[in-house]
């Protein structure tokens, strides 16, 4: 009687951690941040086309994701995390219940490369729901949230934090997060209180401090203060981080990541390409619309209205008819209406460029003087091109604590800008 030989057992897949995991997803340098309702699939596709190496999903509410099919279907489609078009991808959750967080994470672990815990959201909704940065005093709960994912998922867990005013406390916090099982640490260089009118500049020095104090195998992403392409290299040099992450910078100009990074080699002005770095709105909206119309799922269409308002922020005060068209968008708006807006913007910009005066003014100027101690600069960009976002503080646009450009009477009428080619 012959014995049937059982098939050999497949070797268990080893879950990579830390730097090995980071290298397995291509050692990304330019990362699209997790944002509430804003880093959805269509936007990620556009961002990847324009140079992003890694994207996070929007922040997902773990309890709703685990318990409500409608929310889950709306926020995460079958094409999210698709191997050829949406990887590498990290799915972010906010949570305060370890079991529900694990239940939610289990539903996505086959469609992403890692799951991230949001410990950075500073908004009042996070305060009311007790999640995000409003967990940062409850270290016991944070440890449990991270550790249950580390022990039970087939993929790594990563964590995004804000800093404390005290560096030593921030370091202890980071060490606790890592000891719980986090494989990558994203550090937003602002405190929980730095939001809205009190946002201010992110503190890159505290990220550098963490980099110097934590083991070299710890992978750190730096978040905060990215306005222009050269800020990427400035941040890497100032912090020693492995990569940079952008939220608002990416939303207002998704071409922020468009050029390759050559570490410690900041591109001079005469090597910058205006059309690549600050794309015209007609070109950018057409690219976005072509992606949007081929991207199924509710999340991308729901987010489109906000994306249009942000992309066209400087354009809409001049062309208020376009603002009115965007304002009419709702969840039932058909894709044809988005195309009408795109065509309208294309017509306006092409008409502008047909005018000799506008064509001569289609240049980007950079300030001839650094506007803060880090060497940051300010550039004036024509309103029909993508540009950075400066948050108003007490009704004024500030850059590094100063007005972006001095008034001419303060400079004796002398020009203080240089043309960007």
Q: Output the CA torsion sign for 41, 244, 127, 388.
A: negative
Architecture of domain 18-267: Alpha-Beta Barrel (3.20)
Q: What is the pTM of this model?
A: 0.88
| Listed residue (79, 420, 77) closest to 275, CA to CA | 420
Residues with Cβ within 8 Å of residue 20, at least 6 apart in sequence: none
Listed by start position, the domains of the chain span 18-267, 282-355
CB 105 within 8 A of CB 96: no
Give the per-residue pLDDT at 365.
Answer: 82
Q: What's the chain's length in residues? A: 421
DSSP three-state, residue 336:
helix
Q: In the predicted model, is pLDDT for residue 218 greater than 60?
A: yes
Give the per-residue pLDDT at 290.
Answer: 97
411 confidence band (pLDDT: 50, 70, 90): very low
User: What's the pLDDT tens digit per position in 183-192?
Assistant: 999 999 998 7
Instruction: Find the mean pLDDT for residues 279-304.
Output: 94
Q: Output the CA torsion sign for 26, 31, 33, 37.
A: negative
CB 17 within 8 A of CB 235: no
| Listed residue (132, 214, 119, 141) closest to 175, CA to CA | 214
CA-to-CA distance for 384 and 315, rounded, in angstroms?
A: 6
Catalytic positions: 121
Does a cis peptide bond (omega within 30 degrees of 0) precede residue 88? yes
Q: In the predicted model, is pLDDT for residue 58 greater than 60?
A: yes
Average pLDDT over the chain, rounded to whole?
86
Q: Which residue has the higher pLDDT, 71 or 415?
A: 71
| Listed residue (95, 112, 104) closest to 41, CA to CA | 112
Query: How many Cβ atoms from other residues are within 10 Å of residue 386's Cβ?
Result: 25
Q: In the predicted model, is pLDDT for residue 303 greater than 80?
A: yes
Give the per-residue pLDDT at 127.
Answer: 77
């Amino acid at each position: 009687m012959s014995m049937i030989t059982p098939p050999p057992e497949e070797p268990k897949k080893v879950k990579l951690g830390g730097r090995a995991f980071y290298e397995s997803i291509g050692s990304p340098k330019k990362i699209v941040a997790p944002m509430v309702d804003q880093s959805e699939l269509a936007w990620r596709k556009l961002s990847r086309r324009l140079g992003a190496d890694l994207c996070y999903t929007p922040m997902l509410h773990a309890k709703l994701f685990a318990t409500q099919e409608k929310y889950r279907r709306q926020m995460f489609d079958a094409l999210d995390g698709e191997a050829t078009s949406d990887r590498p991808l990290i799915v972010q959750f906010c949570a305060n219940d370890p079991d529900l967080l694990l239940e939610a994470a289990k539903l996505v672990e086959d469609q992403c490369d890692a799951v991230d815990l949001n410990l950075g959201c500073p908004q009042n909704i996070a305060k009311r729901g007790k999640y995000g940065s409003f967990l940062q005093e409850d270290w016991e709960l944070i440890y449990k949230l991270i550790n249950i994912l580390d022990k039970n998922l087939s993929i790594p867990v990563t964590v995004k934090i804000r800093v404390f005013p005290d560096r030593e406390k921030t370091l202890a916090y980071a060490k606790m997060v890592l000891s719980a099982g986090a494989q990558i640490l994203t550090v937003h260089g602002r405190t929980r209180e730095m939001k809205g009118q009190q946002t201010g500049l992110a503190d890159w020095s505290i990220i550098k401090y963490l980099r110097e104090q934590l083991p070299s195998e710890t992978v750190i992403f730096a978040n905060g203060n990215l306005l222009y392409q050269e800020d990427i290299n400035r941040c890497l040099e100032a912090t020693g981080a492995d990569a940079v992450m952008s939220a608002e910078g990416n939303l207002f100009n998704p071409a922020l990541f468009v050029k390759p990074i050559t570490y410690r080699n900041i591109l001079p002005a005469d090597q910058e390409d205006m059309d690549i770095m600050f794309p015209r709105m007609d070109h950018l909206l057409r690219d976005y619309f072509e992606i949007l119309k081929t991207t199924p799922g509710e999340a991308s269409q729901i987010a489109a209205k906000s994306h249009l308002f942000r992309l066209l922020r400087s354009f809409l005060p001049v062309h208020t008819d376009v603002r009115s068209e965007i304002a009419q968008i709702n969840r039932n708006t058909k894709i044809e209406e988005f195309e009408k807006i795109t065509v309208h913007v294309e017509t306006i910009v092409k008409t502008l460029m047909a005018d000799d005066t506008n064509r001569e003014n289609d240049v980007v100027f950079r300030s001839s003087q650094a506007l803060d101690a880090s060497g940051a600069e300010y550039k004036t960009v024509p309103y029909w091109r993508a540009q950075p976002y400066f948050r108003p503080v007490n009704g004024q646009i500030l850059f590094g604590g100063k007005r972006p450009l001095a008034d001419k009477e303060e400079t004796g009428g002398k020009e203080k800008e240089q043309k960007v080619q």
